[in-house]
Amino acid sequence: MLNHLERSGYVKTEAVGRAMLAVERERFVPESMRHAAYADHPLDIGLGQTISAPHMVAIMVEAMRAKEGQRVLEVGGGSGYHAAVMAQVVGPTGHVYSVERLEPLAERARASLEASGLSDRVTVLVGDGSCGWHEHAPYDRISVACGAPEVPEPMLEDLAEGGMLLIPVGGGYVQELVRITRDGDRFRREGLGGCVFVPLVGRCGHR
């Protein structure tokens, strides 16, 4: 899988390559899907949710430009795989807070992270993360793995100085991946291309 992602240009940095190599993706998919764990397409994880294709995870993690020791918020935690990769990037001195609104998925993610030896680096939270999760702010990075109708203002407020928010924005199942960087009271917005994610559901998302 990693060779394919590197040859295709999705994995660009050693840090992301090492992180993806360190995480066993099969731990994060249902047993019935483990034969396809490393196939480069999304997989159904139940309850109408999916685990993103490996190339999309690589795109997201590369775009975050996260560094060791940083505090990361992930919204739409799903299987926990993306959080596991991010935890490898930020290392033992960093921390990832992963919010999932569906309790059964959150429980599975916790079990998968524990089996991967990452339960001390990732905190799985259950609730509506569509507006972010203010309790542990400020965050150096916020990553949203669901499509939002617009950028939630509270997420911008919870960014640390120089922090980045990565979020798919658009209607239905077709969005643009947007990266927003905080510079004091100003926010620089960049479009990174089209993407397809399940909708962000909640107070600041699709209702």
Of 102, 37, 93, residue with least CA distance to 70: 93
Return the active site residues. 52
Pairwise CA distance, residues 110 & 102, whole Å: 13
3-state secondary structure of 99: strand
What's the CA gap between 164 and 189, in Å, rounded? Answer: 10
Using alpha carbons, select from 58, 61, 108, 63 the residue that is nearest to residue 87.
61
